Amino acid sequence: MASEIHMPGPECLIKNINGPLLVNPEALKILSAIRQPVVVVAIVGLYRTGKSYLMNKLAGKNKGFSLGSTVQSHTKGIWMWCVPHPKKPNRTLVLLDTEGLGDVEKGDNQNDSWIFALAILLSSTFVYNSMGTINQQAMDQLHYVTELTDRIRAKSSPDVDGVEDSADFVSFFPDFVWTLRDFSLDLEADGQSITADEYLENSLKLKKGTSPKDKTFNLPRLCIRKFFPKKKCFIFDRPTHRKKLGQLEELCDDELDSEFVQQAVVFCSYIFSNSKTKTLSGGIKVDGPRLGTLVQTYVNAINSGDLPCMENAVLALAEIENSAAVQKAIVHYDQQMGQKLQLPTETLQELLDLHRATEKETIEVFMRSSFKDIDQLFQKKLAAQLDKKRDDFCDQNRKASSDRCSALLKDIFSPLEEDVKQGIYSKSGGYRLFIEKMQELKKKYLQEPRKGIQAEEILQEYLKSKESVTDAILQTDQTLSEKEKLIEVERMRAESAQAAAKMLEEMQIKNQQMMEQKEKSYQEHMKQLTEKMERDRAQLLEEQERTLALKLQEQYVYWEWKLLQTYLAAWTRQSRNIWSCHPVPMRTKWKERAIDLLFPLIFSKAVLRQGGYIKLEGDS
């Protein structure tokens, strides 16, 4: 469904002013109107590093997110700007600009960690913006990534050991983009030109050591590699002279460094083409209202002292969505039945057939809108409401039929009743005239269309109410002998018994039809549930395969690092006596040479074997 977006500028989404985080109701109102799936791009980085400028470019504007021109951080909390996606007409681009990390005025590292975690949780593409090169200082400033498992939970109930592995997080973490501003180095390695992505990969290589210093060096790199398998890097030259940096909003592209302008174009093009739709576990695409619910759920968890939990957020979202799905389905049912149903129906089966066809559509509407309906709680609610709707329509149908039949009988038989009052039939031969007239009027009644399912019952009730009148006319007719009168009484009793038997048979048929309809309704629910479960299972298998691949990649990195540490420790123990006979420089040289020679062999066999990737001869 197309969504009209009219946001001339950003709106604060999460306020962060000397207290608990607050969600802005106005921002939620904007999100609630966006019915398209959203692509969410969040940017995080140290304050005063030009994050907002890049986000303005993604919005196709020079102004919007506040840039500022001093050493103070201008963006507080998280700001949102929703714009039409420039390359995907059926998507909305949601840009999130975050409060600068390390703001000295805030002086609150806890606050920075939550901003970082929220940007991860809400985005489908996470942009980390920093100045200069990727060195140890840059890695140290990215220490928030090492705290993610302390800030975010993937599951409400972790594994038995209480630990969640990175694959649990990877399944819903965003893609990672590192933007390097004012980058002044040549992209070269070993005398060869390299790409920005290769530069990032080289910068994330682990040290071959076991010392505390090596572990400190490796930890943020290992976390980035584990949590963000898909990584991208962009470098940017300085946009203009330092004195003009405070005027970036006012400068045209031809007043900026041409390399910088081209780099910004390439960055925006990549984001527009490659940023994914925000998707939750189970392949659930996030639209504006769902994103708003996630924001509220995460912020409420943080403010209550809990860790934001992805699983809990999805379940909370599912409860809201599934409840709405039930209502949406019922509205569809009511609309369709209102348009197609004309009461009274000629037969009960006519009503049940229409109900069944509409019920099928209604279940389909629910299935399309619902997800993670644990124990089919909401589907059962829908089924109960549909059963009640069916029963209500059956009651309305009976009443409509009764009302029409009663009106018909009154209209058809009222002249006869008036004649009876006038004594026209209270004479010799009057009984046979009365019976003939009754038969004529009954025939006329039965020929009337659209009487509904109560036609026979209402007729018999009417005839029964007139038995005393009929008997009085019979007794006053002097042309009939007593024997003929007795025969006539028996005939009327037989007719009455026959009519009662007919009504009983019709009632049994109706009950059978209702039982069959209930069984068909149950079968339809089960059929569509099974089909949905099959689709969900296929989606889950796809997610599990993707997660498994990421987990294997994680193990690959882990074994590379762990085995090397083990090997170095063993090498040190076994070679202590040999090394003690040589000067320190020679020992270091031999150690480094051994690593260079033996590491590829170790990695290609032992790592792959222990990681479960291959089996060598002799392996069981």
CATH of the domain at 215: 3.40.50.300
Q: How far apart are CA 449 and CA 445, in angstroms?
A: 9
Higher-confidence position of 307 and 551: 307
Can you tell me the mean pLDDT for 100-126?
A: 80
Is the same domain home to 378 and 463? yes
Q: Considering the domain boundaries, does residue 1 fall inside one?
A: no
Q: Evaluate if residue 319 carries a pLDDT over 80.
A: yes
Report whether pLDDT(607) > 50. Answer: no
Examine residue 596 and state whether it is found in any structural domain, yes or no.
yes
Q: Which of 83-87, 101-105, 251-255 has the highest mean pLDDT?
A: 83-87
Is residue 58 pLDDT above 80, yes or no? yes
Do residues 528 and 614 share a domain?
no
Most confident of 50-64, 186-200, 240-254, 321-335: 321-335
Q: What is the pLDDT of residue 412?
A: 94
Say if residue 272's pLDDT is above 90: yes
> pLDDT grade, residue 211 (50/70/90)?
confident
H or E stretch covering 169:
helix 166-170
In this structure, is residue 497 part of a structural domain? yes
Using DSSP bridges, classify how beta strands 231-235 and 92-98 pair: parallel, antiparallel or unpaired: unpaired
Q: Looking at the structure, tell me whether residues 266 and 374 fall in a common domain.
A: no
111 — pLDDT class (breaks 50, 70, 90): confident
User: How large is the average pLDDT for residues 42-58?
Assistant: 84
Name, of 119-123, 277-281, 420-424, the range with top average pLDDT: 119-123
In this prediction, residues 531-540 reach a mean pLDDT of 80
Band (69; pLDDT cuts 50, 70, 90): very low
Classify residue 581 as left (phi > 0), alpha (psi -120 to 50) or beta: alpha
Output the six-digit token pair for 132: 């200069």
Domain that holds residue 615: 557-620
pLDDT greater at residue 296 or residue 312? 296
Q: How far apart are CA 442 and CA 457, in angstroms?
A: 13
Of 379, 369, 292, 299, which is closest to residue 92 (Cα–Cα)?
292
Please give the structure tokens belonging to residue 237. Answer: 């030259």
Quick one: pLDDT band at residue 585, thresholds 50, 70, 90? low
Residue 126 has φ and ψ, to the nearest 5°, of: -110, 120
267 shares its domain with 365: no
In angstroms, rounded to a whole number, what is the distance separating the alpha carbons of residues 361 and 357? Answer: 7
The last residue of one of the domains, among 214, 247, 279, is: 279
Whether 269 and 334 share a structural domain: no
In this predicted structure, what is the pLDDT of residue 185? 84
pLDDT at 431: 84
Exposure string of 40-55, with b = 16+ CB inside 10 Å and e = fewer, is: bbbbbbbbbbbbbbbb
452 plus 506 within the same structural domain: yes
Q: Which residue has the higher pLDDT, 307 or 331?
A: 331
- Mean pLDDT taken over the chain: 82
Q: Encoding tokens for residue 328? A: 């949406």
Domain assignment present for 301: no
In this model, does residue 599 exceed pLDDT 50?
no
Beta-bridge partners for 153 = 309
Q: Is the pLDDT of residue 381 over 90?
A: yes
Q: What pLDDT, on the 0 to 100 scale, is given for residue 615?
A: 39
Which residue, 178, 179, 176, 157, is CA-closest to 168? 157
Whole-angstrom distance, CA of residue 481 vs CA of residue 459: 29
The last residue of a domain, from among 506, 536, 566: 536
Q: Tell me what the mean pLDDT of segment 561-565 comes to.
A: 60
Residue 519 lies in a domain: yes
Q: Does 24 reside within a domain?
A: no
Q: 461 with 502, same domain?
A: yes
Within a domain: residue 123?
yes
Given this model, what pLDDT does residue 75 score?
53
Task: Find the mean pLDDT for residues 104-111.
Answer: 62
- Whether 613 has a pLDDT exceeding 50, the answer reads no
Whether 46 and 117 share a structural domain: yes
Same domain flag for 440 and 579: no
Pairwise pLDDT comparison (200 vs 208), residue with the higher score: 200
Distance CA 284, CA 167 (A): 19
For 152, the token pair is 């975010």
Q: Which of 218, 245, 279 is the endpoint of a domain? A: 279
Q: pTM of the prediction?
A: 0.73
Average pLDDT over residues 162-183: 77
E strand spans, 194-343: 231-235, 279-280, 284-285
- In a domain, residue 583? The reply is yes
Coil/strand/helix, residue 321:
helix
Q: Do 383 and 235 fall into the same domain? A: no
| % residues pLDDT > 70 (the chain) | 79
CATH number at residue 448: 1.20.1000.10
Q: Is 512 found in the same domain as 387?
A: yes
pLDDT of residue 537: 81
- Min mean pLDDT across 230-244, 299-313, 401-415 is at 230-244
Give me the pLDDT at residue 564, please. Answer: 59
Helix residue spans in 422-481 (DSSP H)? 430-447, 455-465, 467-476
The reported pLDDT for the residue numbered 322 is: 94
* Confidence band of 546 (pLDDT split at 50, 70, 90): low
426 close to 469: Cβ distance less than 8 angstroms: no
Q: Which pLDDT band, with edges at 50, 70 and 90, does 207 fall under?
A: confident
Same domain, 339 and 267: no
d(CA 615, CA 620): 8
Question: What's the number of domains the chain is made of?
Answer: 3
Residue 59 has pLDDT above 70, yes or no: yes
